[in-house]
A and B are shown apart, each in its own frame.
Chain A
């Protein structure tokens, strides 16, 4: 009896710690679904019927697509599945590796409850969270067509939701298993995310290569909608693959956790750390990881986010930059009426543009959403953690015990953020330029540079907002959530404004990013200046915001 109580307590704790983020994510997706359905309702979607199947597969649009299935696919297949996969990975990581990383595993296991039972209880929490969020999204999927009066005859939303939930659970279980074996948060979250993202790209791109169509089946992502559950109902074989995978991963986690020494609270060992202990490389590694890293506040801040930067820069340079060139060259040679492949009102969400030109293609694939997204992620991460992160960790007390004015701390952290945004922008520029060269697309380099500059500037608006909120509140949560929400909101606002030709699209910073068509027309200087001005104002406000308030205290 007492074991059951203990198990329930652990499950309850897991739910209590994690329900908020999951609920916010699924509620946002539900809102996005309704929004998407409302947007598609006002468009002529008949064009999709004439799309070649291969292209439809990449964008995840099933045959015979109508308003509802377009909306469902957009949310469940792409954003939704990535978001919920991310939520599940975050939960799965926190269960074992997170508990060890925080150093709380010892206290937990000091209670009369075994490792196996702790794992079971926590896994139950993961299942409950994924089930609840999936149910919420399913509810929205059922409700939206009723509210908006959209015909959903022949669509299996429930089936799609089941696939969706099973897929998210799989990535959560993967993170849990890696965490249980290694006790490392980085390995758990990084490994599971890598599998998910690789699958996302692989499932989309492999079918384009003739002969490799079936290879996509090696990715768990394939089983989300490989059998088109929205149109054909539950594919039990695919669900079995996903859920069977979850069970296998759980058993693996159980095995791993039982046989290993638990970690004490510890920090990861990087490659540089190893080089520092090796006699041959010690001097140089010490220089880089030691004395150079701590030479200034901004350098140290930069060193803290290097992993994120490396990942984003790699993705932007290779995937979004270099690879898109030859890919476009290949697609252009196919007998597809690419110019009319997608309705303009849908393209607008991805930045708009003429898909048959290299500029238009890059605009839709790389610049419309991915580039600002990538720079915003980096800028907001650095901006939000800049000051609030040190307050959260309470290291701010020692930092400010030095004869350094608060304003200088803000300015140096700001410098890191701007530098990081510029690096991602520059990597995108380099990637796209190389992609254009490799694909023989002959794009104008100055125009690519202009577009990357505008992308950096528009992203810095949100990074600056993050820094300002970080300075004013000292709360990482607020400094992250508000700019992220604002970015999504303004992006939608700009797209809808553009579709409707309405003036209020101009209220969105994104309006000043691509609306002047910089890839074709070059830099629009007033747009650039406006974006820079907004950023400067926000950054300037963050100095007094930080200097004037009481630092937070752990109560």
Chain B
């Protein structure tokens, strides 16, 4: 079995469930990652992110449900799948006695068909030291070796579990650029993280998992419209708060002369249309929608999350 270019999903899970005895690490997870997107997989520690990835990698086997990668079954076709994907596990462990270069050579030998020039260019971009033994490297420099290893075969799908761990901000930025480049080339990136800013910056869509269940699946732009932000409007007259409150998503309206301040979640054009129907808009200021607040609410409780969606 080989991946089909017309596969509609890069990664798909249906009813994926994993129990460890009494512990329900994954519950009925349905997920569909499209080819060519950066998919952010978010959740607090212990939510089931790593369990999901390990199931997809066939390190552990699902209690129920299926996972398909590039149209192939994650268990039955696992070897073939691994020809086409790159993987960076969380809490990366490498062979301490090998140098970075030995490590990459080892995996390149097992994989076959790795372009050495490409490895070199990745190492340069990440500023990785491949001559030192991995055991003597700091965690960030070790992580770079892991990232190169995941990307060096130009995989169609890359699964990265907490890839930014230990990286300095410059390298984090470079990695984010790389992820966007991969997506632009039509490859897929599955990015598991709890670093919100990173996901916000690179992901096209996000799935949020909590206690083994998927509680939200949304585009980043869609989430952004749901984020509440503070908006200030300068108008040519004194606004009627009732008119503003009639727009869905507004709250906390204060009118101070010609200036109006309010909290708003929703599409900006809806609000502006409502305002400009009655007044001329002289000036507008708003802060950038911050997803952190929305994520935190998702993390804290499913009930709150439901209210939001």
- Chain A residues with CB under 8 Å of chain B are 265-268, 273, 289-291, 293-297, 300, 304, 393-405, 550-551, 553-554
Q: How far is the CA of A294 from the CA of B109 in the complex (A)?
A: 8
Q: Let me know if A290 and B99 touch, CB within 8 A.
A: yes
Known interface pairs A394-B93, A398-B87. Does A267 touch B109 (Cβ–Cβ under 8 Å)? no
Q: How far is the CA of A245 from the CA of B158 in the complex (A)?
A: 59
Q: How far is the CA of A266 from the CA of B132 in the complex (A)?
A: 11
Q: How far is the CA of A553 from the CA of B59 in the complex (A)?
A: 9
CB closest residue in chain B, given A407: B79
11 contacts between A and B (CB under 8 A): A265-B135, A267-B96, A267-B136, A293-B102, A294-B98, A297-B110, A300-B95, A393-B95, A394-B89, A397-B93, A551-B54
Judged by a CB distance under 8 angstroms, whether B107 is at the interface is yes
B15, chain A: closest CB distance, angstroms: 19
Q: How many A-B pairs fall under 8 Å by CB?
A: 91
A14, chain B: closest CB distance, angstroms: 25
Judged by a CB distance under 8 angstroms, whether B133 is at the interface is yes
CB closest residue in chain B, given A401: B87
Known interface pairs A395-B93, A398-B149. Does A550 touch B59 (Cβ–Cβ under 8 Å)? yes
Q: Let me know if A554 and B91 touch, CB within 8 A.
A: yes
Q: Let me know if A401 and B95 touch, CB within 8 A.
A: no
A contact residues around B93 at 8 Å (CB): 393-395, 397-398
A279, chain B: closest CB distance, angstroms: 14
Q: Which of B80-99 touch A at CB < 8 Å?
A: 80, 82-83, 85-87, 89, 91-99
Q: Which interface residue of B59, B94, B107, B135 has the most chain A CB atoms within 10 A?
A: B59
Q: How far is the CA of A402 from the CA of B254 in the complex (A)?
A: 60
Q: Which interface residue of B86, B89, B110 has the most chain A CB atoms within 10 A?
A: B110
Q: Let me know if A267 and B135 touch, CB within 8 A.
A: yes
B contact residues around A398 at 8 Å (CB): 87, 89, 92-94, 107, 146, 149
Judged by a CB distance under 8 angstroms, whether B105 is at the interface is yes
Q: Let me know if B94 and A401 touch, CB within 8 A.
A: no
Q: How far is the CA of A554 from the CA of B83 in the complex (A)?
A: 26
B contact residues around A267 at 8 Å (CB): 96-97, 133, 135-136
Given A401-B86, A403-B110, A551-B54, 4 other A-B residues pairs in contact with their CB atoms under 8 A: A398-B89, A398-B149, A551-B59, A553-B54
Known interface pairs A290-B105, A293-B102, A395-B95. Does A403 touch B87 (Cβ–Cβ under 8 Å)? no
Judged by a CB distance under 8 angstroms, whether B60 is at the interface is yes
CB closest residue in chain A, given B103: A294
Q: Let me know if B136 and A403 touch, CB within 8 A.
A: no
A contact residues around B259 at 8 Å (CB): none
Judged by a CB distance under 8 angstroms, whether B61 is at the interface is yes
Q: Let me know if B102 and A400 touch, CB within 8 A.
A: no
Q: Let me know if B135 and A402 touch, CB within 8 A.
A: no
Give 1 or 0 for each of B31-58: 1 = CB within 8 Å of chain A CB. Answer: 0000000000000000000100010011
Q: How far is the CA of A550 from the CA of B25 in the complex (A)?
A: 14
A contact residues around B54 at 8 Å (CB): 397, 551, 553
Q: How far is the CA of A289 from the CA of B149 in the complex (A)?
A: 20
A contact residues around B103 at 8 Å (CB): 294
Known interface pairs A394-B91, A397-B93. Does A290 touch B60 (Cβ–Cβ under 8 Å)? no
A473, chain B: closest CB distance, angstroms: 15
Q: Let me know if A395 and B109 touch, CB within 8 A.
A: no
B contact residues around A290 at 8 Å (CB): 99, 101-102, 105
B contact residues around A294 at 8 Å (CB): 98, 102-103, 105-106, 109
Judged by a CB distance under 8 angstroms, whether B125 is at the interface is no
B contact residues around A300 at 8 Å (CB): 95, 106
Of B105, B110, B133, the residue contacting A402 (CB under 8 A) is: B110
A219, chain B: closest CB distance, angstroms: 34
Q: Let me know if B133 and A403 touch, CB within 8 A.
A: no
Q: Which interface residue of B61, B98, B112 has the most chain A CB atoms within 10 A?
A: B98
A contact residues around B61 at 8 Å (CB): 550
A contact residues around B133 at 8 Å (CB): 267, 273
Q: How far is the CA of A290 from the CA of B106 in the complex (A)?
A: 9
Q: How far is the CA of A326 from the CA of B30 in the complex (A)?
A: 75
B contact residues around A405 at 8 Å (CB): 79
Q: Let me know if A551 and B135 touch, CB within 8 A.
A: no
Known interface pairs A267-B136, A290-B101, A397-B59. Does A295 touch B107 (Cβ–Cβ under 8 Å)? no
Known interface pairs A395-B95, A550-B60. Does A403 touch B135 (Cβ–Cβ under 8 Å)? no
Q: Let me know if A403 and B57 touch, CB within 8 A.
A: no
Q: Let me know if B111 and A402 touch, CB within 8 A.
A: yes
Q: How far is the CA of A35 from the CA of B60 in the complex (A)?
A: 45
B115, chain A: closest CB distance, angstroms: 16
CB closest residue in chain B, given A291: B105
Q: Let me know if A401 and B136 touch, CB within 8 A.
A: no
CB closest residue in chain B, given A266: B136
Q: Let me know if A404 and B110 touch, CB within 8 A.
A: yes
B contact residues around A266 at 8 Å (CB): 135-136
CB closest residue in chain A, given B149: A398
Q: Which interface residue of A265, A291, A300, A401 has the most chain B CB atoms within 10 A?
A: A401
B220, chain A: closest CB distance, angstroms: 28
Q: How far is the CA of A289 from the CA of B133 in the complex (A)?
A: 12
A contact residues around B50 at 8 Å (CB): 553
Q: How far is the CA of A309 from the CA of B59 in the complex (A)?
A: 31
Of B82, B102, B106, B150, the residue contacting A403 (CB under 8 A) is: B82
Q: Let me know if B83 and A403 touch, CB within 8 A.
A: yes
CB closest residue in chain B, given A392: B93
B47, chain A: closest CB distance, angstroms: 15
CB closest residue in chain A, given B97: A267
Q: Let me know if B110 and A397 touch, CB within 8 A.
A: no
B17, chain A: closest CB distance, angstroms: 14
Q: How far is the CA of A394 from the CA of B94 in the complex (A)?
A: 8
Known interface pairs A266-B135, A400-B57, A402-B107. Does A304 touch B102 (Cβ–Cβ under 8 Å)? no
Q: Let me know if B59 and A395 touch, CB within 8 A.
A: no
CB closest residue in chain B, given A264: B136
Q: Let me know if A395 and B87 touch, CB within 8 A.
A: no
Q: Let me know if B97 and A304 touch, CB within 8 A.
A: yes
Q: Let me know if B82 and A402 touch, CB within 8 A.
A: yes
Q: Which interface residue of A297, A397, A551 has the most chain B CB atoms within 10 A?
A: A397
Q: Which of B104-122 touch A at CB < 8 Å?
A: 105-107, 109-112
Question: Which 10 A-B pairs rank lowest in CB-CB distance, beginning with the nearest?
Answer: A267-B135, A294-B106, A394-B93, A550-B60, A401-B87, A402-B110, A403-B83, A397-B89, A403-B82, A551-B59
Give 1 or 0 for each of B51-82: 1 = CB within 8 Å of chain A CB. Answer: 00010011111000000000000000001101
